[in-house]
Amino acid sequence: MATVVDRRSFAISLVALIAIGTISGQAQERFITVASTTSTEQSGLFGHLLPRFEQKTGIKVHVVAVGTGQALDLARRGDADVVFVHARPAEQKFLAEGHGVKRYPVMYNDFVLLGPKTDPAKIGGGKDILEAFKRLEAARAPFVSRGDKSGTHLAELDLWKAAGIDIDKEKGPWYRDTGQGMGPALNTASSMNAYILADRGTWLSFKNRGDLAILVDGDERLFNQYGVMLVNPDKHPSVKKELGQMFVDWVISPEGQKAISDYKVNRAQLFFPNAGQPGA
């Protein structure tokens, strides 16, 4: 018959074993948090890349998919280890503030201007995106904006400005700010038969197209570059420096770059790797 001392010893030993197992499990679970633009997730790219990275390194990647502005703000608060975004001026500002270690170009695609096939604003058939924006404003054609400080939203605002249009003054019922990611914004545009600026990657993987089609593309102003950065561990001590840098190194390595170029939807390549390209 077990004594009280025996039972106490067993209980203490059991608690110790559970504690050791918990600590060991925590030590074995290696993960990083990547704050990224919605296009990398909603296009399906991360679903293609991350299992390959995890298989090679054993590191899990928790993705927070928001607009570029929100992704950088998360990193400014130390709530991410890596940022993967597409708005170079905002990225350079982030670096200048000391929140990032170094920016690496990763890949590019382009933006496209979508609209109903009937094209009531008569913008289709050309490659001049600024002329298209002027016609949209003149016609007060229904237009859906991300309105979320994402890379796509910032690109849209730059295009209005370059077209000589103060969109803050010209906004009206025709211009709808959604404050949403690319997928939900596309759903809104599809349901409204409205015009919208989108990244090609998300558009190619988008199913609920309705009557929407690409009306303007190919203008050099629609170039869309992506960059990746480790969040500065000197400024944010919680950053997992080694694990985060392993992700950065992998995505710009020949293996990571090939994985990006291999990702296709309906045989169409969505992103084009360009790590190491000067000035990208």
Q: Enumerate the domain spans of the chain.
A: 29-109+225-273, 110-222
Sign of the alpha-carbon dihedral angle for 90, 93, 94, 95: positive
pLDDT value of residue 267: 93
Instruction: Tell me if 29-109+225-273 shares its fold with 110-222.
Output: yes
Looking at residue 10, what DSSP letter applies?
H
Which residues, at least 6 apart from 255, have a Cβ–Cβ distance to it below 8 Å? 52, 56
Which of left, alpha, beta for 278 (phi over 0: left; psi -120 to 50: alpha)? beta
- This prediction has a pTM of 0.86
Domain 110-222, what fold? D-Maltodextrin-Binding Protein; domain 2 (3.40.190)
Beta bridge partners, 226, equal: 107
The pLDDT assigned to 125 comes to 84
As given in the structure block, the two tokens for residue 275 are 């790590």
**What is d(CA 91, CA 178) in angstroms, rounded to the nearest whole number?**
23
pLDDT value for 28: 58
pLDDT in the model for residue 217: 97
CATH number of the domain at 29-109+225-273, please?
3.40.190.10
**Local confidence pLDDT in tens for the 280 residues of the chain:** 444 445 445 444 444 444 444 444 444 579 999 999 999 999 999 999 999 999 999 999 999 999 999 999 999 999 999 999 999 999 999 999 999 999 999 999 999 999 999 999 999 988 999 999 999 999 999 999 999 999 999 999 999 999 999 999 999 999 999 999 999 999 999 999 999 999 999 999 999 999 999 999 999 999 999 999 999 999 999 999 999 999 999 999 999 999 999 999 999 999 999 998 888 8
